[in-house]
Each structure stands twice: as structure tokens, then as C-alpha cells.
Amino acid sequence: MNDLNQIKTVFGYTFRDAVRKKAFIISTIIIFILILVLTMIPRIINTFEDDNTDNYVGYTCYYIDEKELISGAKETLASSLPGIVIEEGSADKISEYNNLLQENKNLALITITEKDGLPFITITTGDFMSSVPSEMISETLTKVYVTNTLNKLGYNETAIETAQIELPYTMTFTGGMNFSGYTVGILLTMLIFFAIYYYGYGVSMSVATEKTSRVMETLVVSAKPSRILIGKCLGMGAVGLLQFSGIIAFSAICIKALIPEDFLIMGMPISFSAFTIKSALLVLLYFILGYSLYSVMNSVCGASVSKIEDLNSAMMPVMLISLISFYFGYVAAVSGSDGLLTKIAMLLPFSSPFIMPFKLLNGSVATVDIILSIVLLIIFIIIFAYISIRIYSASVLNYGKKQKLWALYKTKL
């Protein structure tokens, strides 16, 4: 049987085995639900932002403006907030009202006093959890006061309305970095780290399980360890790629279907203009290359243990490298700087899969940097794959005393 067919057979079995695992199915469902919930939030926020005062049916507000600083305010409040009963209150009964407020959460007290020559609005409720529409009350009272004042100054109704108009606004950016790209970039960096770590661990676990359960003894009779290793890494990688692509595709569908086009976060619109086909393909490429690098390293960890409970300690060095590289890439990415450290993070094969997707979505990355980082990643993958295959081949049938990596590497195969 030729090399390719055996790699294909191991790949197919590993892939089928992994996608049928409960961990894969459950984690995919949870991630999809999370995406759905997150993309529904803007719509939910918009729903709550509707000025539906019916939500406050059953509320009673005592209104006290003894000096009539805002004349006609009580009536305007009653018409603006039809669900809320506005009752004329008395300053003498303030302590009585305060006692009532503590007992009944659907009560509020609006007091207008004078401060620095202007009316000062105090809204009192039982506790801070009260959902009385304080912003709406203050906006209504302010509008009434401004209208009264401008009326007194002799302005006509059109002028008064114009004076109170709030102009709509939005923010745009001339640079490549925008809020959406920044947020998506961070999420992508985390997702890539999670996927590389999780599926790298999967390779390690799969190799260790086959070794400790002695299935490896049956496998190595049929295929060279190098073919098993390559097939296994490709199989787990394909599962990772499937889930990763699924997440990206589902996110895109949810964003398109659920997030309102005019939705603003901190005054900024959500934009995915940086997510071009080219950048999406490059993100996928960095994920594949990053996964390949870490998975060949993880496979050695799996092959080096004789007992499954030793796997975590065997994985520690690779785990540390991946964690440090992730934080290095992440910090360099979010700092927004283009200094020397960022450049190193972009080119270093251990950290480039974490920082480059962020950089691709946030500003222009020089083509030469992209090519150089990909070439370096491929060189590292080849070197590590060669070393890993040697160590893996020497260690898969070694069950006795743990040997040093160098001794395993030097073993005659």
C-alpha cells in the first residue's frame, strides 16, 4: 500500500472518530448557541431601547415643584409617560413618601428645587434596582423647561422645536483599525489559540491513547509511524478546520441575519469591510499552519508517555510555548504598535498564527511581512515535523524507562 493511501486511511479514521465524539458535538453546539446569543444582543438592546412606556404600567410618581420652576411639567410628564400615574405631592410629606418608597418598588418621587438659578431634578426611588425611567423623566422635564424659557423670550414654536433637535451622528475612521475589526480580531486570535490548543491536545491524547492501549502495536505493523503521525495530525486538523470554518460561516450568517444594519456600538457602526476573501483565506492559512506546527510537537508529547495520566506533565513544555506565544502575539496585537516587538511577534512562527489574523483585519500588513512569516512557519513545520517523526517513531513502542528526547532522536529507525 502506498504512503498516500495509508495516510488517507489514518486520516479518514481519525476524522470520523473525532467528529463522532461527544466532546466535538457538544462543544460545537455550545459555540453555535453562544454566537447566536451574542449576535442577538444588538436586536435585544434595540427592542429595549424602544420608548414603550407601557412597560411602566403600575408605577406612581409623586411630583413636587412648590416654586413652579417648570410650569406645566406634571401634565407633560403624564402625557409622555402614559403608563405612569403622576400625582401632585407635597413637600411636607417628603418623609412619609420616603417610607412608602421603601415599601413599594413601583413608587418614585420627583422633586424640583432651585440650584444655581436653574431647576434641579431629584428622582428618588426605593433602591438602585428600581427601573423607573429616570433618563426619560429628566429629558421630558428639560424639554418643558427649555420650551417655557424660549417661549418667555419670545421665540416661535418652530424655533423652539429646532433648538431642541438632536442631530444623528456616526463615526468613521481613515485608518485600517476600526471597532469591528478590533473586536473581531481579538475574538479570532482567541478562537485560533483555542482551536490550535484544543486540537493539538486532541492529537496528543489520540497518540497517547493508542500507545497506552497498545493499539499502536497493531498499527505500526501495518503502517510506518511517520504515516500514522501525518494521517493523525491531518485528521485532527481537518476536524479543527471544519469546526473553525463552521464557526466563521455561522457567525457570518448570524451577523447578516440578526444584527441591524444601523446598529451602533459607542456611536460606531459594525463593519466587516476588512474581512475580504483574501484576508479570510489568509486567516485560514495561518490557522492551518499554526495548528500543523503545534500538532507535530504535541504528537511527540503523546508518544513519550507510557501512562495516560502522565500526558499533562509531558505536554507542559508545548503548553508553555503556546501560552507564552499567544500572550506575546495578543499583547503585541492589541497594543496597536508597529515596533520591533510587534515585528518579532509577526515573524516568529510560534506567535505569528495568533497575531497575524488580528493584523490582517486591522490595518495594512506589508505583503513582504505576510510572505516572510508564512515561509518561516513552513520552514519551522518541516523542521519540527522531521524531528517529531523521528522521536515519535522511536518512542511509540518504548514502554519502559522514559528516555531523553535526544536519545530517542538518535535512535536508529
Partner 1 sequence: MGLHIKNMIKSFGSNIAVNDISFSMEKPGVFGLIGTNGAGKTTCIRTILGIMSADSGKAEWNEKKISRENLSFGYMPEERGIYMKTKVLEQLVYFGTLRGMSKTDAKKSALDYMERLGVSEYRDVPAEKLSKGNQQKVQLITTLIHNPELIFLDEPFSGLDPVNTNTLNNLIHELVLEKRFVVMSSHQMSTVEEYCEDILMLHKGKSVLQGNLKEIKKGYGHTNLIISCEQDIALYANEAGLELISRRADESEYRITGDEMAQSFLKKLINEGIFPIKYIVKEPSLNEIFIQKVGE
Q: Does 413 bind partner 1 (CB under 8 A)?
A: yes
Q: What would you measure as the largest C-alpha separation in the chain, in angstroms?
A: 101
Q: Which residues neighbour 289 within 8 Å (Cβ) at sequence distance 6 or greater?
A: 353, 374, 377, 378, 381
| Cell of residue 233, nine digits | 495530525
| Cell of residue 221, nine digits | 505493523
The secondary structure of 210-248 as a DSSP string is HHHTTHHHHHHHHS-HHHHHHHHHHHHHHHHHHHHHHHH
The residue among 10 and 391 lying less far from partner 1, judged by its C-beta, is 10
| Cell of residue 143, nine digits | 424639554
CB of 389 to partner 1, least distance (A): 15
The residue among 17 and 369 lying less far from partner 1, judged by its C-beta, is 17
* From 33, 323, 375, 397, residue interacting with partner 1 (rule: CB under 8 A): 397
222 to 251, contacts with partner 1 by CB under 8 A? 222-224
CB of 233 to partner 1, least distance (A): 17
The residue among 2 and 79 lying less far from partner 1, judged by its C-beta, is 2
The residue among 323 and 407 lying less far from partner 1, judged by its C-beta, is 407
* From 67, 115, 404, 412, residue interacting with partner 1 (rule: CB under 8 A): 412
CA–CA separation, 250 vs 57, rounded Å? 40
The vertex-73 CA angle with 72 and 78, nearest 5°, equals: 105
DSSP helix/strand/coil, 258:
helix
The residue among 100 and 220 lying less far from partner 1, judged by its C-beta, is 220
The residue among 109 and 219 lying less far from partner 1, judged by its C-beta, is 219
CB of 16 to partner 1, least distance (A): 9
The residue among 21 and 43 lying less far from partner 1, judged by its C-beta, is 21
57 to 116, contacts with partner 1 by CB under 8 A? none
CB of 395 to partner 1, least distance (A): 12
Distances (CA, A) of 413 to 337, 342, 385, 392, 402: 48, 41, 16, 11, 18
* From 6, 292, 342, 395, residue interacting with partner 1 (rule: CB under 8 A): 6
The residue among 117 and 400 lying less far from partner 1, judged by its C-beta, is 400
| Cell of residue 58, nine digits | 403600575
CB of 311 to partner 1, least distance (A): 17
CB of 286 to partner 1, least distance (A): 32
The residue among 45 and 215 lying less far from partner 1, judged by its C-beta, is 215
The secondary structure of 326-393 as a DSSP string is HHHHHHHHHT---SHHHHHHHHSTTTHHHHHHHHHHSSPPPHHHHHHHHHHHHHHHHHHHHHHHHHHH
CB of 393 to partner 1, least distance (A): 10
Q: Does 132 bind partner 1 (CB under 8 A)?
A: no
Q: Which residues neighbour 217 within 8 Å (Cβ) at sequence distance 6 or greater?
A: 397
* From 5, 90, 138, 273, residue interacting with partner 1 (rule: CB under 8 A): 5
CB of 9 to partner 1, least distance (A): 5
Instruction: Name the burial class of residue 261, with classes exposed (0-12), middle (13-18) and buried (19+) by CB atoms within 10 angstroms of its CB.
Output: exposed
CB of 22 to partner 1, least distance (A): 11
CB of 179 to partner 1, least distance (A): 46
Tell me the per-residue interface mask from 342 to 381 with partner 1, x by CB under 8 A, - otherwise.
----------------------------------------
CA–CA separation, 215 vs 198, rounded Å? 23
Tell me the per-residue interface mask from 188 to 227 with partner 1, x by CB under 8 A, - otherwise.
----------------------x--xxxxxxxxxxxx---
The residue among 220 and 242 lying less far from partner 1, judged by its C-beta, is 220
H or E segment to which residue 8 belongs: helix 3-19
CA–CA separation, 409 vs 203, rounded Å? 20
| Cell of residue 145, nine digits | 423647561
Per CB under 8 A, residues contacting partner 1 are 1, 5-6, 9-10, 13, 17, 210, 213-224, 397, 412-413
